Amino acid sequence: RVTMGVMLATGLSAASMTAALAQDVTLRGASMFDENHAFTKTMRKFEELVGEYYTGDVEFDLRLNGELGVESDYVNFLQQGVAIDYTIMAPSNMAKFAPAIPLMDMPFLFRDLDHWNTVLSSDAFGPLEAELEKNADIKIIGYTGGGVRNLVSSGPIASLDDLAGHKMRVMGAPIQAKTFAALTAAPSAIAYNEVYNAIQSGVIAGFENEAASIQNLKFYEVAPYITLTKHTITVRPIVMSGKTFRKLPEDLQAAVLKAGKEAGAFGRELESREDGLKLQEMLDAGQIKVQEFDGRETLLEMVKPVQDEFAAEIGATDLLATIRGM
């Protein structure tokens, strides 16, 4: 770290001293949740690790509880380089800037947790990251996630018959709506912070989500039925605005990349381990009713053509084949 003393001794001007001092950086992050959610814990880990790896001064200002909105807002902020510098985000919430990115969190992409782990520890998603950087100027610095998404609804859904015409909220990527439409449900894209009210007022009968978030935002109060379709194991990039990243001193950039990668690994282990426990906690507390879905294998067959069509549309047929073959 360059100190004033060093600068004086080496004859640096007052102007460059001011410039060096002004490099003290504050990075603002956003979470839709409180301190107990795996995403918030992962961002706290990221902050801690950056602090460890960077010798300069860097501060973090993480805004919790959706103070700065939801992911569909965050993606605009990051793209414009305003309001926030980093967050954790569902690929499907970045679709409007990068049409290929929702392949990462497409339902039924992963067979199981092993497959998910294998894909995430490879560089298979490289081309999708490149598209995001080019189109949205958003940089993926790590991957967290590991929650299993299930149907969450105000009434029971036991089988395909109950799913027919089921009014449910999906994330704003076209592939999400197409997938659930292929399963005969009636999906609509609604902002995450409107879901609770939409269910409560009967506009929709449910949505789909993972245990950590159902618990943190108390969705069970309006939608206590969890149907174990286990259709998605979440992939959640830790992202930074390219506009922020480029402004950072080089050694801080290096610290951010290293910390992002490691915080991601921390978050994946945490959320995948806690997923079943959180379901059990809600069950024990009498907050949810959990049931199996009769005919999960059929769902897989129904969505495969939709996946193939989407991959062809975004020029990712080979990539999808590679991921399926891993």
Please identify, using beta-carbon distances, which residue of 31 and 307 lies nearer to ligand MAV.
31
List, as one string, the DSSP characters of 171-222: -SSHHHHHHHHHTT-EEEE--GGGHHHHHHTTS-SEEEEEHHHHHHTTGGGT
236 part of the interface to ligand MAV, by CB under 6 A: yes
Q: How far is the CB of 83 from ligand MAV (least distance, A)?
A: 17
CA distances from 290 to 162, 188, 274 (A): 15, 24, 17
| Binding test (CB under 6 A) with ligand MAV, winner from 42, 153, 209, 241 | 209
171 part of the interface to ligand MAV, by CB under 6 A: yes
68, 83 in Cβ contact below 8 A? yes
CA distance 235 to 148: 10
Handedness of CA 30, 31, 32, 33 (dihedral sign): negative
204, 190 in Cβ contact below 8 A? yes
Q: Which residue is nearest to ligand MAV (CB)?
A: 213
Q: How far is the CB of 267 from ligand MAV (least distance, A)?
A: 12
CA distance 213 to 161: 27
Helix pair 38-53, 250-284: axis angle to 10 deg: 150
Please identify, using beta-carbon distances, which residue of 214 and 255 lies nearer to ligand MAV.
214
CA distance 255 to 262: 11
Please identify, using beta-carbon distances, which residue of 54 and 74 lies nearer to ligand MAV.
74
Piece of 134-142, 206-214, 223-231, 268-276 that binds ligand MAV (CB under 6 A): 206-214
93 part of the interface to ligand MAV, by CB under 6 A: yes
71 part of the interface to ligand MAV, by CB under 6 A: yes
Piece of 7-15, 56-64, 209-217, 220-228 that binds ligand MAV (CB under 6 A): 209-217
Instruction: Determine the Cα angle at 115 with ends 226 and 176, to 5°.
Output: 50
Instruction: Determine the Cα angle at 140 with ends 135 and 143, to 5°.
Output: 140
Q: How far is the CB of 62 from ligand MAV (least distance, A)?
A: 16
Piece of 50-58, 129-137, 205-213, 249-257 that binds ligand MAV (CB under 6 A): 205-213
Instruction: Determine the Cα angle at 151 with ends 146 and 77, to 5°.
Output: 60
178 part of the interface to ligand MAV, by CB under 6 A: no
192 part of the interface to ligand MAV, by CB under 6 A: yes
Q: How far is the CB of 212 from ligand MAV (least distance, A)?
A: 7
Please identify, using beta-carbon distances, which residue of 178 and 236 lies nearer to ligand MAV.
236
Residues that bind ligand MAV (CB under 6 A): 71, 90, 93, 171, 192, 209-210, 213, 234, 236
